[in-house]
Amino acid sequence: MALISIIEDFHPLNDAKLLYRADELKPSLHHEIVEPVGGFQLKERYSPEREEIVLQKVPKLAMGKGQNLCLDFGDHYVGYLTLEFSYTGSHPDAPAFLKLKFSEVFDELSENSDDYDGWISTSWIQEEYIHVDVLPARVTLPRRYAFRYLKITMMDTSPKYKLIVKHAELLTESSANYKRLEPFTTGDELKDRIYNVGIRTLANCMQDVFEDGPKRDQRLWMGDLRLEALANYVSFRNMNLVRRCLYLFGGSRFPDGRISANVFIKPAVEADDTWMFDYSLLFVVALEEYLQETNDEETLNDLYDIAMQQVEISLRHCDERHVVDDEAANAAFIDWREGMDKRGCAQAVLIFAMRYARRLARRKNDYSQANWLLEQLELLRKAAIEYFWDEEQKCFVSEGQTAMATQVWMVLADVLEPEKARELMENSERFLEPYKMATPYMHHYYVTALCRTGLLEKAEKHMKEYWGSMLDAGADTFWEAWDPDDPKASPYGGKVINSYCHAWSCSPVVLIKKFFTQQK
Amino acid sequence: MALISIIEDFHPLNDAKLLYRADELKPSLHHEIVEPVGGFQLKERYSPEREEIVLQKVPKLAMGKGQNLCLDFGDHYVGYLTLEFSYTGSHPDAPAFLKLKFSEVFDELSENSDDYDGWISTSWIQEEYIHVDVLPARVTLPRRYAFRYLKITMMDTSPKYKLIVKHAELLTESSANYKRLEPFTTGDELKDRIYNVGIRTLANCMQDVFEDGPKRDQRLWMGDLRLEALANYVSFRNMNLVRRCLYLFGGSRFPDGRISANVFIKPAVEADDTWMFDYSLLFVVALEEYLQETNDEETLNDLYDIAMQQVEISLRHCDERHVVDDEAANAAFIDWREGMDKRGCAQAVLIFAMRYARRLARRKNDYSQANWLLEQLELLRKAAIEYFWDEEQKCFVSEGQTAMATQVWMVLADVLEPEKARELMENSERFLEPYKMATPYMHHYYVTALCRTGLLEKAEKHMKEYWGSMLDAGADTFWEAWDPDDPKASPYGGKVINSYCHAWSCSPVVLIKKFFTQQK
């Protein structure tokens, strides 16, 4: 995969002061105890056919070899599971051997992980085999899981006893404080549902850092952070958590100063050796947006140079025509769409980020830098028109492709006059194929591009249709990747590895609050 | 299986005073840290073909998906494993997912547990799947294992890193104190090897109680205890551990007073609902032998009535001919040999035990009981001759069968005149088939029957051949079941479930010390 880089002897540049600050900003975690609200058994181990069990009967259900019990916790949660086991029959004369499968969505329950053959590690599949040596027992699993459903399969007991699951409970964990959430309604039922599921998605990704997904990768990625931060500003307003994450990105970078696409927290803070051209530039955007919310000058002073450095490094990737070079363009993420040319997108993201960089410079009273940025971005903007705009097709073309992503980013970067941009987006349906948007991340930018060109109705309609179709498909939290026309699609070669609570999909929280709520 | 009983609503008779004493006698555990002495990789996951690895290279071995690493600890151990993991490549971006397999013998390593289809619970197979979320890591597994070999299979890493097993160590655990062991040699190399492997077998079964096997069942069984106690008297001499186990058997019994075949210790002391006719009588034998060693009158006073009760309950199972009834005979263990009639054996074991009971009564100055026991055992002895002796075949016959077990127990019970017993055992080869002895437990009684009839040379030869053949097959400790002519045989329908360090197989320690050492 193009986006998997392994740099031999990668030693990130760590800034002790910034990392110390990040450490001071560690959030408090909130906990709640949750119990199952329903139970059922799958008729066969890998079949979705289910037989309901009255919840009160679960503590009397004697499980022999091969039997399963599924518990439904009623909503998507993140936390630590405790199970209490008992038995019927004789004193257990052999350990109980169990398989536990934690599923974010119902379909996952009946998937056989052995069938997965993609490039993501199967170690992310939330499955455990455990032996319980002494019964009765109260077992708390040491790992954190993200799930709504728990499937317990009895791998073996012994001929002398059967196992009983007497009690199950989950200690939830999140740094989102629901008490800070103000009551909110749009008056539109579907929008309210989308908003609420978005909030839950955000909350379950808010942990020690803003994670991309609590199932996978449980990690701080820049692209996710930017959207989470925006949703957080209009909901939980945990400013310190955003600040902490910005310091983490600033505090551990590539040896040449680039912001990494993601940062590891454990065992110690360490930038990943993956550089994504667009993600490193979104640091500049996220920093500026944080300042809009907080006017926190200390953070500006601490991170300003690093933000400017991202632009400067990116500009070094422009050729004499002021076009982003292939190396950088290939290193842009944009969306999970293989084969899509990213030159146009990369050019636009750089312009987009430079507008935020310029605002940072003005905030810092660094007017010469602000002016220089304006000059540079104008050169890039003109180059974008010159080399990517196709007057015949009336759209942007990147290596012969007219992908939606390219149009969207060009619009967001204000490359076109407003009127022309609006025309482009009015006819945006023609860009839906063949380089289809694959993720809610890309759909977010599409909706914002529609909003930016004043097409609010069309934007709202798309949001409702796209995120609404996830609700129809049973989402308790929004998913990492979703194509309503192809529900089995996965960018990872198998849905069992998909993340069904993914930060970058929480963006309707901000879309609804910012664009789709009637002002009273 | 006949020997698996499940008694609904079984509530054992617990004696608080005896259990309190047992608790006071809990042994100290001795620990030692052990590291691997060799390493290799299996060429295929379930193939015995191996490729050696220089041990110093193990901490540099980068393990990717599907690879395995086997560590050889050089001898059989019982304890807790700690592994230290590191990695090569990029910062791990996914958990490491590993399978660990602990094997007592080399052949186990390449066995696929999924193939096992016997009646013993597969939960005894020493395998774990673990996820290591953060690397580097030091992981101590919470369960105790019995093994020489550890196979680590990399189920998955990620494309970005490979795992390194930097260090492995085992914290051994045993209540056997090797410092109490006196240097011992017979001057015969094979006997010395058998003795030493017997000692290791015993030591690795000496834990919080005398276990039957540290892999399986990790439990206090009466038949094993008797032989372990005998071996312990001539080696580690941990008298309190024997005493503790006798109190545990006495302290939790069947509601009608019977000694259970085995007793659970965790979560609380509780007799199993399995009664084995011979095992409950071996309590009487083991108590008397303990008193021979210790003259511990307090224990005699505490357990005398319970011992007598075993005989009395057994006598109630005799019909008007003074022959043990079918219910009791079928509940006798004797050996893992299906189809073998146990009437003759049961009759003999009862007589055998009554001789020990009589000695207990005399120790207690309970002469009327002693006399009564003598009368009763004479009735039983005569009945044994009348109903089981076949004058034509010159041997004991039980339901038409002339199994070795029947001859052996009749000899041990002194049913015959010494001269006749000797004649019987002189020609014992004719009883080897078809009801072949299956376990070292039965072979022990065979050898002692030979010794009892003065056939010391023959006895020693058999011991050397039988236990020696386990050494030839690679035993570091002696095995639960073994047929040199059929190395793949298992009484449990598959060798993967066999216990390769089994208490009842340690008996050469006592055989050699008692019978096969030249007195100087």
Domain that holds residue A92: 33-172
For B270, the enclosing helix (H) or strand (E) is strand B270-271
- 3-state class of A386 per DSSP? helix
Q: Do B122 and A96 touch (CB under 8 A)?
A: no
Q: Considering only CA atoms, give the Rg of chain B.
A: 25
- Taking residues B358-380, report their average pLDDT: 98
Q: Which residue of A has its CA nearest to B269?
A: A91
Query: Mean pLDDT across chain B, nearest whole number?
Result: 96
Percent helix, strand, coil in chain B, to 5, is 40, 20, 40
What does each C-alpha distance from A518 to A185, A445, A462, A513, B57 come to in angstroms? 10, 21, 18, 9, 68
Residue where a domain stops, chosen among B128, B147, B172: B172
Q: Provide the residue count of chain A.
A: 520
Q: Considering only CA atoms, give the Rg of chain A.
A: 25
Using pLDDT thresholds of 50, 70 and 90, give the confidence band for residue B47. confident
Q: Which of B7, B93, B136 sits opposite A272 (nearest CB)?
A: B93
Q: Which of B97, B158, B272 sits opposite A93 (nearest CB)?
A: B272
Q: Is the pLDDT of residue A478 over 50?
A: yes
Q: Which residue of B has its CA nearest to A221?
A: B93
Please tell me if residue A456 touches chain B, with a CB cutoff of 8 Å: no
B21 and B60 assigned to the same domain: no
A242 and A344 assigned to the same domain: yes
Residue B330 CB-density burial (10 A; 0-12 exposed, 13-18 middle, 19+ buried)? middle
Best of A99, A102, A123, A160 to disrupt the B interface by mutation (most B CBs within 10 Å)? A123
- A42-56, A182-196, B143-157: segment of lowest average pLDDT: A42-56
Q: Do A123 and B160 touch (CB under 8 A)?
A: no
CA atoms within a 13 Å half-sphere pointing along the CA-CB vector of A123:
28
One-letter amino acid for residue A503 of the chain: A
Q: Which residue in the block uniquely carries the two structure tokens 């019982």?
A: B78
Please tell me if residue A86 touches chain B, with a CB cutoff of 8 Å: no
Is the separation of the CB atoms in B276 and B314 below 8 Å? no
Using pLDDT thresholds of 50, 70 and 90, give the confidence band for residue B192. very high
What does each C-alpha distance from B179 to A204, B45, B236, B237, B503 come to in angstroms? 57, 41, 8, 11, 20
Q: In this structure, what CATH number is given to the domain that contains residue B154?
A: 2.60.120
Distance CA B297, CA B181 (A): 26
Q: Which residue of B has its CA nearest to A99?
A: B129
- Taking residues A487-509, report their average pLDDT: 93
A49 and A17 assigned to the same domain: no
Please tell me if residue B181 touches chain A, with a CB cutoff of 8 Å: no
pLDDT of residue B416: 98
- Which residues from chain B sit within 8 angstroms of residue A95, using beta carbons? 121, 123-124
A42 and A185 assigned to the same domain: no
Distance CA A279, CA B329 (A): 79
Distance CA B457, CA B476 (A): 26
- Taking residues A76-104, report their average pLDDT: 97
Give pTM, 2 decimals.
0.96
Burial per residue of A344-364, b for 16 or more beta-carbon CB atoms within 10 angstroms, e otherwise: bbbbbbbbbbbbbbbbbbebb
A160-213 per-position pLDDT tens digit: 999 999 999 999 999 999 999 999 999 999 999 999 999 999 999 999 999 999
Q: Which of B121, B135, B270 sits opposite A94 (nearest CB)?
A: B121
CA A241 to chain centre: 16
Q: Which residue in the block uniquely carries the two structure tokens 């939290």?
A: A477
In chain A, which among 118-157 make CB contacts under 8 A with chain B? 119-124, 128-129, 131, 133-136, 143, 155-157
A310 and A279 assigned to the same domain: yes
Please tell me if residue A10 touches chain B, with a CB cutoff of 8 Å: yes
Is the separation of the CB atoms in A76 and A150 below 8 Å? no
- Which residues from chain A sit within 8 angstroms of residue B96, using beta carbons? 123
Using pLDDT thresholds of 50, 70 and 90, give the confidence band for residue B118. confident
Q: Which residue in the block uniquely carries the two structure tokens 């499980």?
A: A63
Q: In this structure, what CATH number is given to the domain that contains residue A429?
A: 1.50.10.10
pLDDT of residue B6: 79
pLDDT of residue A518: 77
Report if residue A474 sits inside a domain. Answer: yes
- Which residues from chain A sit within 8 angstroms of residue B158, using beta carbons? 120-121, 123
Best of B14, B87, B123 to disrupt the A interface by mutation (most A CBs within 10 Å)? B123
- Which residues from chain B sit within 8 angstroms of residue A270, using beta carbons? 91
Nearest chain A CA: its distance from B443 CA (Å): 26
One-letter amino acid for residue A366 of the chain: D
Best of A7, A80, A119, A121 to disrupt the B interface by mutation (most B CBs within 10 Å)? A121
Report if residue A7 sits inside a domain. Answer: no
- 3-state class of B490 per DSSP? coil
Please tell me if residue B273 touches chain A, with a CB cutoff of 8 Å: yes
A509 and A392 assigned to the same domain: yes
* Beta carbons within 8 Å of A242's beta carbon, 6+ residues apart: A210, A225, A229, A232, A286, A290
- 3-state class of A411 per DSSP? helix
* Beta carbons within 8 Å of A156's beta carbon, 6+ residues apart: A65, A94, A96, A97, B121, B122, B123
- Taking residues A251-279, report their average pLDDT: 98
pLDDT of residue A311: 98
In chain B, which among 220-249 make CB contacts under 8 A with chain A? none
Residue A380's nearest CA partner among A308, A327, A314, A289 is A314
Q: Provide the residue count of chain B.
A: 520
Q: Do A135 and B267 touch (CB under 8 A)?
A: yes
Distance CA B187, CA B190 (A): 9
Q: Taking each helix axis as running N to C, give the angle between helix A16-24 and helix A239-251, from 0 to 180 degrees, rounded to the nearest 10.
A: 160
Q: Which of B90, B124, B157 sits opposite A94 (nearest CB)?
A: B124
Q: Do A136 and B272 touch (CB under 8 A)?
A: no
Burial per residue of B177-187, b for 16 or more beta-carbon CB atoms within 10 angstroms, e otherwise: eeeeeeeeeee
Please tell me if residue A1 touches chain B, with a CB cutoff of 8 Å: yes
Helical ranges in A64-176 per DSSP H: 106-109
Q: Which residue of A has its CA nearest to B272?
A: A91
Q: Do A159 and B1 touch (CB under 8 A)?
A: yes
Q: Do A91 and B273 touch (CB under 8 A)?
A: yes
Per DSSP, A114 falls in state G
Distance CA B460, CA A261 (A): 74
Q: Do A122 and B95 touch (CB under 8 A)?
A: no
Nearest chain B CA: its distance from A272 CA (Å): 7
pLDDT of residue B1: 38
Please tell me if residue A519 touches chain B, with a CB cutoff of 8 Å: no
Q: Is the pLDDT of residue A2 over 70?
A: no
Report if residue B177 sits inside a domain. Answer: no
- Which residues from chain A sit within 8 angstroms of residue B136, using beta carbons? 267
Q: Is the pLDDT of residue B183 over 70?
A: yes
Please tell me if residue A64 touches chain B, with a CB cutoff of 8 Å: no
Cβ atoms within 10 A of the Cβ of B400, count?
Answer: 7
B137 and B251 assigned to the same domain: no
Report if residue A462 sits inside a domain. Answer: yes
Q: Which residue of B has its CA nearest to A272?
A: B91
Q: Do A131 and B123 touch (CB under 8 A)?
A: yes
Report if residue B500 sits inside a domain. Answer: yes
Q: Do A95 and B267 touch (CB under 8 A)?
A: no
Report if residue A233 sits inside a domain. Answer: yes
A334 and A375 assigned to the same domain: yes
B149 and B212 assigned to the same domain: no
B48-80 per-position pLDDT tens digit: 899 999 999 999 999 999 999 999 999 999 999
pLDDT of residue B9: 87
Q: Taking each helix axis as running N to C, give the angle between helix A277-294 and helix A297-315, from 0 to 180 degrees, rounded to the nearest 10.
A: 160
- Which residues from chain B sit within 8 angstroms of residue A123, using beta carbons? 94-97, 131, 155-158
* Pairing mode of beta strands A262-264, A220-221: antiparallel
Please tell me if residue B7 touches chain A, with a CB cutoff of 8 Å: yes
Q: Do A91 and B270 touch (CB under 8 A)?
A: yes
The proportion of chain B whose per-residue pLDDT surpasses 70, expressed as a percent, equals 99
One-letter amino acid for residue B344 of the chain: G
pLDDT of residue B519: 58
pLDDT of residue B4: 66
Best of A3, A45, A91 to disrupt the B interface by mutation (most B CBs within 10 Å)? A91
Euclidean distance between the first and the last CA atom of chain B, given in angstroms as a whole number: 49
- Which residues from chain A sit within 8 angstroms of residue B89, using beta carbons? 6
Angle, vertex CA B388, rays to CA B386 and CA B393, nearest 5? 105
Q: Which two tokens stand for residue A415?
A: 């490359």
A161 and A308 assigned to the same domain: no
Residue where a domain stops, chosen among A172, A200, A227: A172
- Taking residues A104-133, report their average pLDDT: 94
Mapped to the 3 state alphabet, what secondary structure does A208-234 carry?
A: CCECCCCCCCCCEEHHHHHHHHHHHHC
Residue where a domain stops, chosen among A122, A147, A172: A172
Instruction: Please tell me the total count of domains within chain B.
Output: 2
B164 and B188 assigned to the same domain: no
Q: Which residue of A has its CA nearest to B161?
A: A6
The proportion of chain B whose per-residue pLDDT surpasses 90, expressed as a percent, equals 94
Report if residue B76 sits inside a domain. Answer: yes
Please tell me if residue B268 touches chain A, with a CB cutoff of 8 Å: no
Q: Is the pLDDT of residue B414 over 50?
A: yes
Report if residue B3 sits inside a domain. Answer: no
* Beta carbons within 8 Å of B250's beta carbon, 6+ residues apart: B15, B18, B259, B283, B302, B303, B306
Please tell me if residue B158 touches chain A, with a CB cutoff of 8 Å: yes
B213-230 per-position pLDDT tens digit: 999 999 999 999 999 999
B107 and B193 assigned to the same domain: no
Helical ranges in B317-397 per DSSP H: 326-330, 343-363, 367-388
pLDDT of residue A46: 84
Residue A102 CB-density burial (10 A; 0-12 exposed, 13-18 middle, 19+ buried)? buried
Q: Is the pLDDT of residue B507 over 70?
A: yes
Using pLDDT thresholds of 50, 70 and 90, give the confidence band for residue A4. low
* Beta carbons within 8 Å of B367's beta carbon, 6+ residues apart: B361
Nearest chain A CA: its distance from B338 CA (Å): 18
Distance CA B237, CA B176 (A): 9
One-letter amino acid for residue B63 of the chain: M
For A452, the enclosing helix (H) or strand (E) is helix A440-452
Q: Is the pLDDT of residue B2 over 60?
A: no
Q: Is the pLDDT of residue B498 over 60?
A: yes
Cβ atoms within 10 A of the Cβ of B143, count?
Answer: 12
Q: Do A159 and B4 touch (CB under 8 A)?
A: yes
Q: Is the pLDDT of residue A3 over 80?
A: no
Is the separation of the CB atoms in B364 and B429 below 8 Å? no
Q: Which two tokens stand for residue B190?
A: 């094979």
Q: Which two tokens stand for residue B307?
A: 């011992």
- Which residues from chain B sit within 8 angstroms of residue A4, using beta carbons? 159-160
pLDDT of residue A244: 98
Using pLDDT thresholds of 50, 70 and 90, give the confidence band for residue B44. confident
- Which residues from chain B sit within 8 angstroms of residue A96, using beta carbons? 123
- Taking residues B478-498, report their average pLDDT: 92
Nearest chain B CA: its distance from A125 CA (Å): 10
